[in-house]
A and B are shown apart, each in its own frame.
Chain A
Amino acid sequence: QLQLQESGPGLVKPSETLSLTCTVSGGSISSITYYWGWIRQPPGKGLEYIGSIYYRGNTYYNPSLESRVTISVDTSKNQFSLKLTSVTAADTAVYYCARQKSGSYRNWFDSWGQGTLVTVSS
């Protein structure tokens, strides 16, 4: 059964870089059928799409975050990662990694990690 697990610091200082890794188990990140995505949820609020990556390294970023976001993939470790630079308190959220169907008009998220809370504070 596929499992996704986020890991990384739970506390980041303002203006620094948030870095998270998602480890995929029970399936290959190199599958041609899927993209791998990041979604976040500020406390008590709704879901915001951050971006996605294909195993070959193709990426898509939400334009609202694109200037600060980098998503990368390490197929040898079955992991993908998120970096968000110049963070502020507004970036405080639960960050989820998720598996996303690939292909035109198929981009729903069918499996999610449990999420990790990242707080931006000095």
Chain B
Amino acid sequence: EIVMTQSPATLSVSPGERATLSCRASQSVSSNLAWYQQKPGQAPRLLIYGASIRATGIPARFSGSGSGTEFTLIISSLQSEDFAIYYCQQYNNWPLTFGGGTKVEIK
């Protein structure tokens, strides 16, 4: 099983600032990585797939990059609605696995 490790566990950011979230895979997953956003009491929402392709309706301030074992999600200018938990998921190998999440909180 591929282990996905996200860092940091918590990120404190002021509104309008940039947030950089990391996701590392225990072995190469090529570009087969997705990012999700989850707000309290809600289901996860797909943000990014293919490591860098924004899902339908996702604002351009969200961008993903990376390949192999190192991936990054950048939120260029945090809006109030962006404070949430973010998860990465690899789909290069079965079983599908998720990272432990990064909580983005208001500084």
Binding site for B on A (CB under 8 A): 46-49, 60, 62-64, 96, 98, 101, 105-115
Contact = CB atoms under 8 A, between A and B. Distances in A.
Interface residues of B, number: 24
A68 to B, nearest CB: 14
Given A47-B36, A105-B30, A112-B43, 14 more contacts: A46-B100, A47-B87, A47-B89, A47-B98, A49-B98, A60-B94, A98-B43, A107-B91, A108-B89, A109-B34, A109-B44, A110-B46, A114-B43, A115-B43
A48 B91 contact: no
Interface of B: 1, 30, 32, 34, 36, 42-46, 49, 55, 87, 89, 91-92, 94-101
Interface of B is mostly: loop
Contacts, number: 56
A60 B49 CA distance: 21
A90 B86 CA distance: 23
B30 A108 contact: no
17 contacts: A46-B87, A46-B99, A47-B36, A47-B87, A47-B89, A48-B98, A49-B95, A49-B96, A49-B97, A60-B94, A62-B95, A63-B95, A105-B32, A107-B91, A108-B46, A110-B49, A112-B43
